[in-house]
């Protein structure tokens, strides 16, 4: 492998990489080795158009662009010489000649590479006396993106994204020279399932999403690492939070999961966190069919009494468990332990499915189906059939995916049961037939782990705190076990301790613990597809 030296740092790099790729591979780009860049993006083809990444290579008379210079063994590169600094300042000056002084009203301000690099590498004043180029400020590119032509620096990242990632080719550079401008092809809109990624990769404020425009200044946002729960892919996120409210999802780079992209559907799924239809109250069903809000402890003992009545009267065979792909591994491990302690053998995973694509989106619309299966929750269709045919009397139901047309298609069959205990984050008709119903937290509100479709276990942590009484499914189920008088169950439920117990009890999770999971996650010991085993 070639060895290169860059600013006195020695690197062994893969054959065929460029200087910029080699520095990025080593995790040093803008993180010890400063090579500012606009047109280069780690997941797109090389353009070499902005000229900002120039570096000095020993033995080469001219400065070279780091993004398109292949490494050679023995290469010595310098990124901080006077020639390099002067070239960068020249590029910045040219880029700023026509750039509008929009920063006070620009959504990108605070996370703009033009601001950052102008401050770090640019010149202080402008020598230009000409009027700045006036172009269109508010171009409607499609349903999700608005374009400001004046702010564009023509790095062509957005064009290459549409060509190379979704392959939809909506954008192009039209005209030539200083008349060049980004446009959609005539009669076309920028409208694909990944369209909003162009706003993330636009290094300036030229492309903004309709969803986030003018919502909040970015410096008010706290950035919490998270995982999208829209499907089984488990894309990594930056969750933007202010005042205990999620304002946006942005992709967080994970080369093993989502590169640097997320789909639009997943991006907008943050709205579900603070949605008006969140389930906010513990409720019980009265004998006359009426519903009322109840204290948590009362609902727990009522649920425990109903389950105990069924267990003592008819045995555990008449009760079933429905696991949810929206619960964490720790929640589901607690559910598994509860079912095992009650000798309830019929349990399965029920999840809604939708269309998948070839890029990221998976058919399973839940983040933790693979985790549920690794914990022994098999295909829930058997359980659904038993409910439909009236072969059971009681059900403990996590989530309301079971009501989907693909499964029960409504509440009628559940309504015939003697006892339904439901744990859910959002309102649905499930509450109408639940004898006790508990509001639970979504993954962005709790500590835990999720296992994506290919068996990567990833950590979630609370980005926001619900303003109402909501617990993790695991906490409610542990308290239910305690109310049933089961040994080893208590109201105190700590996901870190549960994760440790899970890692010891289930071989697939051996060595995987919430407290020590790396930011990019870790693979299950037994990947999905191999036979899962019951936990206890
Ligand atoms: S709109 Fe943004 S991403 Fe597209 S070419 Fe202009 S600056 Fe680059
Ligand atoms: S592909 Fe799936 S996990 Fe990724 S952002 Fe979209 S919905 Fe979320
Ligand atoms: S990043 Fe190298 S020329 Fe633009």
Q: Which two tokens stand for residue 114?
A: 């033009």
Planar angle of CA 119, 220, 31, nearest 5 degrees: 45
Q: Does residue 13 lie within any of the structural domains? A: yes
On whether both 171 and 217 belong to a single domain, the answer is yes
The contacts of residue 469 (CB under 8 Å, 6+ apart) are 280, 281, 282, 296, 439
Q: Does residue 207 lie within any of the structural domains? A: yes
Question: Residue 209 maps to which CATH number?
Answer: 3.30.70.20
On whether both 313 and 445 belong to a single domain, the answer is yes
Calpha distance 466→441 (Å, rounded) = 8
Q: Does residue 510 lie within any of the structural domains? A: yes
pLDDT value of position 528? 76
The neighbouring-strand residues paired with 41 are none
Nearest ligand to the C-alpha atom of residue 145: 1
On whether both 266 and 287 belong to a single domain, the answer is no
Calpha distance 185→208 (Å, rounded) = 19
Q: From the CB of residue 104, how many other CB atoms can be counted at a distance below 10 Å? A: 6
CA-nearest residue for atom 4, ligand 1, is: 158
On whether both 344 and 250 belong to a single domain, the answer is no
On whether both 432 and 513 belong to a single domain, the answer is yes
Answer for the pair 24, 18: CB distance below 8 angstroms, yes or no. no
C-alpha distances out from residue 473 to 60, 265, 295, Å: 63, 25, 17
* Dist. CA 361 → ligand 2 center (Å): 5
On whether both 497 and 350 belong to a single domain, the answer is yes
**DSSP per-residue string spanning 279-330:** --S-EEE-TTS-EEE--HHHHHHHHHHHHHHHHHHH-GGGEEEEE-TTS-HH
**DSSP per-residue string spanning 63-91:** -EEGGG-B--TT-EEESSSHHHHHHHHHH
* Dist. CA 114 → ligand 3 center (Å): 14
On whether both 149 and 174 belong to a single domain, the answer is yes
Answer for the pair 85, 12: CB distance below 8 angstroms, yes or no. no
Q: Which residue of 149, 207, 208, 209 sits with most ligand 1 atoms within 8 Å of its CB, as the best mutation to test the pocket?
A: 207
Calpha distance 365→35 (Å, rounded) = 40
Residue 182 beta carbon below 6 angstroms from any ligand 1 atom: yes
Calpha distance 166→188 (Å, rounded) = 15
pLDDT value of position 370? 98
Residue 152 beta carbon below 6 angstroms from any ligand 1 atom: yes
- For 257, phi then psi, to 5°, come to -125, -60
On whether both 230 and 302 belong to a single domain, the answer is no
Nearest ligand to the C-alpha atom of residue 263: 2
Q: From the CB of residue 263, how many other CB atoms can be counted at a distance below 10 Å? A: 26
Q: Does residue 119 lie within any of the structural domains? A: no
Q: Which two tokens stand for residue 422?
A: 């439901």
* Dist. CA 163 → ligand 1 center (Å): 14
Residue in 322, 374, 366, 373 with CA at minimum distance from that of residue 344: 322
**DSSP per-residue string spanning 357-416:** -SSS--SB-SS-HHHHHHTT-EETHHHHHHHHTT--SEEEEESSGGGSTTTT-SSHHHHT
**DSSP per-residue string spanning 111-153:** S-HHHHHHHHHS-SS----SPPPP--S-EE-SSSEEE-GGG--
Residue where a domain terminates, one of 227, 252, 272: 272
pLDDT value of position 532? 42
Q: Which two tokens stand for residue 412?
A: 């009628």
Calpha distance 491→481 (Å, rounded) = 9
DSSP 532: P
DSSP 331: H
Question: Residue 51 maps to which CATH number?
Answer: 3.10.20.740
CA atoms within 13 A on the CB side of 245: 8
Q: Does residue 110 lie within any of the structural domains? A: no
Residue where a domain terminates, one of 239, 272, 305: 272
On whether both 154 and 24 belong to a single domain, the answer is no
CA atoms within 13 A on the CB side of 348: 16
* Dist. CA 278 → ligand 2 center (Å): 21
Nearest ligand to the C-alpha atom of residue 358: 2
Calpha distance 313→431 (Å, rounded) = 25
Helix 296-314 with 473-483: angle, nearest 10 deg: 60
Q: What distance, in Å, lies between the first and last C-alpha atoms of the chain? A: 48
CA-nearest residue for atom 6, ligand 1, is: 152
Q: Does residue 291 lie within any of the structural domains? A: yes
Instruction: Evaluate the CA torsion angle 112, 118, 119, 121 in order and state its sign.
Output: positive
Q: Does residue 101 lie within any of the structural domains? A: no
Residue in 371, 388, 276 with CA at minimum distance from that of residue 324: 371
Residue where a domain terminates, one of 64, 80, 96: 80
Residue 363 beta carbon below 6 angstroms from any ligand 2 atom: no
DSSP 338: H
Percent helix, strand, coil in the chain, to 5, is 30, 20, 50
Nearest ligand to the C-alpha atom of residue 264: 2
Residue 272 beta carbon below 6 angstroms from any ligand 2 atom: no
Total structural domains within the chain = 3
CA-nearest residue for atom 2, ligand 2, is: 231
On whether both 203 and 149 belong to a single domain, the answer is yes
Domain of residue 136, residue span: 131-272
Average pLDDT, consecutive stretches of 10 residues, N- to C-terminus, the chain (536 residues): 94 96 96 96 98 97 98 97 97 94 94 95 87 94 98 98 98 94 96 98 98 97 98 98 98 98 98 98 91 97 98 97 98 98 98 98 98 97 96 98 97 97 98 97 98 98 97 98 97 97 97 95 81 40
Interstrand relation of 319-323 and 346-349 (parallel, antiparallel or unpaired): parallel
Calpha distance 331→329 (Å, rounded) = 5
pLDDT value of position 125? 84
* Ligand 3 proximal residues by C-beta, below 6 Å: 37-40, 48-53, 65, 67
The contacts of residue 113 (CB under 8 Å, 6+ apart) are 36, 38, 203, 204
On whether both 162 and 216 belong to a single domain, the answer is yes
Residue 484 beta carbon below 6 angstroms from any ligand 1 atom: no
- For 463, phi then psi, to 5°, come to -95, -35
Calpha distance 88→96 (Å, rounded) = 12
Q: From the CB of residue 390, how many other CB atoms can be counted at a distance below 10 Å? A: 10
Q: Does residue 406 lie within any of the structural domains? A: yes
Q: Which two tokens stand for residue 472?
A: 């993790």
On whether both 67 and 44 belong to a single domain, the answer is yes
Longest dimension (CA), the chain: 90
Question: Residue 437 maps to which CATH number?
Answer: 3.40.50.740
Q: Exposed (0-12), middle (13-18) or buried (19+): which is 74, by Cβ within 10 Å? A: exposed
Q: From the CB of residue 243, how many other CB atoms can be counted at a distance below 10 Å? A: 9
């Amino acid at each position: 492998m070639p060895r290169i030296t860059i600013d006195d740092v020695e690197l062994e790099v893969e054959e065929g990489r460029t200087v910029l790729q080699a520095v990025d591979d080593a995790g040093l780009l803008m993180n010890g080795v400063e090579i500012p860049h606009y047109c280069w993006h780690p997941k797109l083809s090389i353009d070499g158009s902005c000229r900002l990444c120039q570096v000095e290579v020993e033995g080469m008379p001219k400065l070279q662009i780091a993004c398109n210079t292949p490494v050679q063994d023995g290469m010595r590169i310098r990124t901080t010489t006077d020639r390099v600094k002067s070239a960068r300042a020249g590029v910045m000056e040219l880029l700023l000649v026509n750039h509008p002084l929009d920063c006070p009203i620009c959504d990108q301000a605070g996370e703009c590479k033009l601001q950052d690099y102008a401050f770090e590498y640019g010149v202080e004043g402008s020598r230009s006396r000409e009027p700045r180029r006036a172009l269109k400020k508010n171009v409607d590119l499609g349903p999700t993106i608005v374009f400001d032509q004046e702010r564009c620096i023509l790095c062509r990242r957005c064009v290459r994204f549409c060509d190379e990632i979704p392959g939809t080719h909506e954008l192009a550079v039209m005209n030539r020279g200083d008349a060049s401008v980004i446009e959609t092809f005539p009669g076309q809109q920028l409208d694909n399932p990944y369209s909003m990624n162009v706003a993330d990769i636009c290094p300036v404020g030229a492309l903004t999403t309709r969803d986030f425009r003018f919502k909040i200044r970015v410096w008010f946002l706290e950035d919490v690492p998270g995982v999208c729960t829209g499907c089984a892919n488990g894309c990594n996120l930056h969750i933007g939070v202010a005042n205990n409210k999620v304002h946006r999802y942005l992709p967080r780079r994970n080369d093993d999961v989502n590169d640097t992209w997320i789909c639009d559907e997943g991006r907008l799924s943050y709205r579900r966190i603070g949605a008006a239809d969140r389930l906010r109250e513990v409720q019980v069903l009265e004998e006359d069919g009426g519903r009322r809000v109840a204290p948590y402890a009362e609902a727990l003992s009522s649920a425990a009494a109903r389950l105990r009545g069924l267990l003592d009267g008819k045995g555990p065979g008449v009760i079933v468990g429905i696991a949810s792909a929206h619960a964490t591994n720790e929640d589901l491990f607690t559910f598994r332990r509860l079912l095992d302690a009650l000798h309830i053998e019929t349990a399965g995973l029920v999840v809604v499915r939708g269309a998948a694509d070839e890029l990221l989106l998976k058919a399973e619309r839940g983040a933790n189906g693979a985790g549920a299966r690794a914990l022994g929750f098999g295909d829930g269709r058997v359980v659904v059939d038993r409910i439909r045919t009236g072969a059971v009397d009681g059900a403990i139901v996590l989530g309301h995916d079971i009501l989907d047309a693909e499964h029960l298609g409504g509440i009628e069959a559940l309504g015939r049961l003697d006892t339904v205990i439901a744990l859910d984050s959002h309102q649905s008709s499930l509450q109408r037939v639940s004898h006790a119903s508990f509001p639970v937290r979504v993954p962005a509100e709790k500590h835990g782990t999720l296992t994506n479709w290919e068996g990567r276990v990833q950590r979630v942590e609370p980005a926001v705190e619900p303003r109402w009484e909501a617990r993790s499914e695991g906490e409610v189920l542990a308290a239910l076990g305690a109310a049933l008088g089961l040994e080893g169950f208590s109201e105190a439920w700590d996901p870190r301790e549960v994760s440790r117990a899970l890692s010891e009890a289930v071989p697939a999770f051996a060595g995987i613990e919430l407290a020590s999971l790396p930011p990019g996650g870790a693979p299950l010991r037994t990947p999905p597809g191999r036979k899962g085993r019951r936990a206890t």
